[in-house]
Amino acid sequence: EPEVTQTPSHQVTQMGQEVILRCVPISNHLYFYWYRQILGQKVEFLVSFYNNEISEKSEIFDDQFSVERPDGSNFTLKIRSTKLEDSAMYFCASSFTGTGMNTEAFFGQGTRLTVV
């Protein structure tokens, strides 16, 4: 069964450093997303990406964050100048169409980011 894969599984970084979280969505999917989950809390939407551009972003997704699809398979989330409160599990997800058009979003296994 195809799945979304994320690397690394765990990333420890010093406050103020930049991190890049990587995702390989399912190959025939067209919509890509990043969500985050602070420990013990709910999953929060960060950004959706379609046709090589951001389609929607939340208030969490400020200038510190950026996304990119550098090639035909990878989808990355860059966090500049990390803060302690950026520590969370970051999930990548993909779907064939936007879920408003009734298609399941598949989640990756997550990258646990720890900012020290």
Partner 1 sequence: GENVEQHPSTLSVQEGDSAVIKCTYSDSASNYFPWYKQELGKRPQLIIDIRSNVGEKKDQRIAVTLNKTAKHFSLHITETQPEDSAVYFCAASEDSWGKLQFGAGTQVVVTP
Phi, psi at 32, each rounded to 5°: -130, 145
21, 65, 110, 113: which one binds partner 1 (CB under 8 A): 110
Q: Is 45 in the site for partner 1 (CB under 8 A)?
A: yes
Q: Is 101 in the site for partner 1 (CB under 8 A)?
A: yes
Output the smallest distance, CB 16 to partner 1, in A: 28
79, 91, 113, 115: which one binds partner 1 (CB under 8 A): 91
**109, exposed or middle or buried, with CB in 10 Å at 0-12, 13-18, 19+?**
middle
CA distance 39 to 41: 6
Quick one: 15 or 43, whose CB is closer to partner 1?
43
The label of the residue with tokens 């009734």 reads 102
Q: Is 95 in the site for partner 1 (CB under 8 A)?
A: yes
Binding site for partner 1 (CB under 8 A): 31, 33, 35, 41-45, 48, 50, 55-56, 58, 91, 95, 97-110
